[in-house]
Amino acid sequence: MNVPDSQSLETQSRKADHIRICLEEDVQSHSTTNGLEHYRFTHCCLPEVDRLCINLTTKFLGKQLGAPLLISSMTGGTPLALTINHRLAQVAQQYKIAMGVGSGRVAVENPQLAETFAVRKFAPDILLFANLGAVQLNYNYGLDQCLRVVDILEADALILHLNPLQECIQTNGDTNFRGLLDKIAILCNKLPVPVI
């Protein structure tokens, strides 16, 4: 049995904090908007369209999607994250939309947490994305670790997220961003699933 090291426990604690902060604190931006307030749509009472003829389906990476939507990389690595990921996967399956989970780094560091990412049984047909921080490629992560997170999820692709600002301001963040583009290119050539 693997015993989590202090780094793994810190990562796990940080993941739990992300959820707690979103649930308990005011995280809503009060000054930045999505820009939609700048648009006014003209009312069209005779649109000359049959709504039932509108088809939002599309194909991406060989999978049929019910709409061009993605439940983006959210969470993983805690008991509450397991519940969140399972529920999101069920919704994604119901509406045939793509889904990504949070960074699988915590599952690589502590394999006992892999179940918090394993959502394929709840969403057998959707386009599913595994996720790792690209910066981990500078911290002893390579093809094997990337394959591991893809395998845990039975994922169709791997998202490498890029978050240098968060890493710089986060306690014990990973801040060596040099040479990542070359490492990503090498990974893209070796990984058997697409890299996003």
Cα(190)–Cα(175) distance, integer angstroms: 25
Task: Output the CA–CA distances (angstroms, integers) from residue 132 to 70, 71, 101, 103, 144, in the order listed.
Answer: 17, 16, 10, 5, 12
Half-sphere exposure of 78 (CA within 13 A, CB side): 18
SS3 151: helix
Mean pLDDT of the chain: 91
Q: What is the pLDDT of residues 31-59, one digit of tens each?
A: 888 888 999 999 999 999 999 999 999 99
pLDDT-based confidence at 8, cuts 50/70/90? low
Instruction: Indicate whether 181 pLDDT > 90.
Output: yes
Higher pLDDT, 125 or 81: 125
In this prediction the pTM is 0.84
Give the pLDDT of residue 27.
82
Ranges of each domain in the chain: 56-190
Class of the CATH domain delimited by 56-190: alpha beta
